[in-house]
Structure 1
Amino acid sequence: MGRIEESVEVSAPLDEVYGHWVRCEDFPRFMRGVVSVDVSGPGSSSWVVETAGGRREFKAVTTEVVEGERVAWDGGGTAPVRHSGVVTFHHVDDRTTRVMLQLEIEPHALWAHLAEALGFVDRRVIDDLNDFKRHVERSSGPAAG
């Protein structure tokens, strides 16, 4: 099982950053790795993502929410990759929030092992976090700096 930990500092207040994150159905509009998200009910969503190994579909279940602080989920145990994660939001100052993402990934298929070993999964996570940062900062207007 692999562990990915990445963070990004977003030039926006914590409550605004958190609000953008929990609207995950908007992710396909600005995250290149997310094709679609269908929120099917409280704490349940269906995802289609593009990875180095191709298109992947999974259902995610939210396992913990601490309003304004953290969101954890389980992406299920379906092949080719099982994953779970948590994202936390940290107040840096009134205009800056640190977003920290931790993923536990358990590849099952050979290509999934290879993609993880070569760092493709980590690169996709970094790119998606940076896409999120740009989206929030554009959305927050002139105060984003």
Structure 2
Amino acid sequence: MSTIEKSITVDIPVTTAYNQWTQFETFPKFMDGVERVEQLDDKHLHWKAKIAGVSREWDAEIVDQTPDERISWRATDGTTNVGTVSFASSDPSTTQVTLRLEVEPEGFVEKVGDALHLIDHEVEKDLANFKEFVEAHGYETGAWRGDINPGDAGTSTTGFTDPLLGGGAGAASTEGGLAPAPTDPLLGGTDLGAGVKREDDDPRI
């Protein structure tokens, strides 16, 4: 298992940085190796990506999520990986984003890539692209403000913020289920009823 940890400072408030990272389906817009991320529900994702040039697919579960602090996940099948992204406010308009990954290279090609630090380079580039993406927008394209605690049995508190309205966290929730996701006509958001606000292709991006 290879461990990679990288940090970057972004010139946006911590809440904006965190909110943008919850929009997993936008990852292909700034992560070069990520081809597709499907949000299955508030805790589960399906990934398709190239790792050191090798195409892989896997399912992942979010195991720990605290707004404005961290998101942790683990692969449940396919490519073995565990990760945490954490957020620390340097000042009201600056955030340090730290991404820590533990990846198990699979096959000769990935082992060579790992030895040459290609995965390490990809992570560093992805963070730089995230910085460019979110700073260019100046606000998040959506948000999920729920909490997921280690050991949760599939129930979480769901809440959304609207960056254009400045709404607070936890604005909507349902007992034992998911709140409907708002749509934003300016961002092309789509209500998919899965507790996640996704955006369609945005011509401004």
Asked if TM exceeds 0.5, the reply is yes
Classify the secondary structure of the residue corresponding to 1:42. coil
When the two chains are superposed, the root-mean-square deviation of aligned CA atoms in Å is 1.3
**1:37-116, aligned counterparts within 5 Å?**
37-78=37-78, 81-116=79-114
Indicate the structure with greater strand content. Answer: 1
Structure possessing the higher radius of gyration over alpha carbons = 2
What is the letter of the counterpart of residue 68 of structure 2? Answer: G
What is the letter of the counterpart of residue 94 of structure 1? Answer: P
Moved over 3 A (4+): none
Instruction: Check conservation: 1:10, 1:133, Cα contact below 8 A.
Output: yes
User: In structure 2, what is the equivalent of residue 14 of structure 1?
Assistant: 14
Q: CA deviation at 1:31?
A: 2.2
Q: Which runs of 5+ in 2 are unaligned?
A: 140-205
User: In structure 1, what is the equivalent of residue 134 of structure 2?
Assistant: 136
Percent pairwise identity: 34
Q: CA deviation at 1:30?
A: 2.6
* Aligned-partner Cα distance in 2 for 1:97–1:124: 21
TM-score w.r.t. length of structure 1: 0.90
Q: Which runs of 5+ in 1 are unaligned?
A: none
TM-score w.r.t. length of structure 2: 0.65
Aligned residues: 139
Q: CA deviation at 1:77?
A: 4.5
Instruction: Check conservation: 1:76, 1:84, Cα contact below 8 A.
Output: no
- Identify which of 124, 127, 144 aligns with 2:125: 127
Of structures 1 and 2, the one with the larger relative CO (CA 8 A, separation 6+) is 1
What is the letter of the counterpart of residue 41 of structure 1? Answer: D
Going from structure 1 to structure 2, the CA distance change for 1:11 and 1:5 (only over 3 Å counts) comes to: same
Indicate the structure with greater helix content. Answer: 1
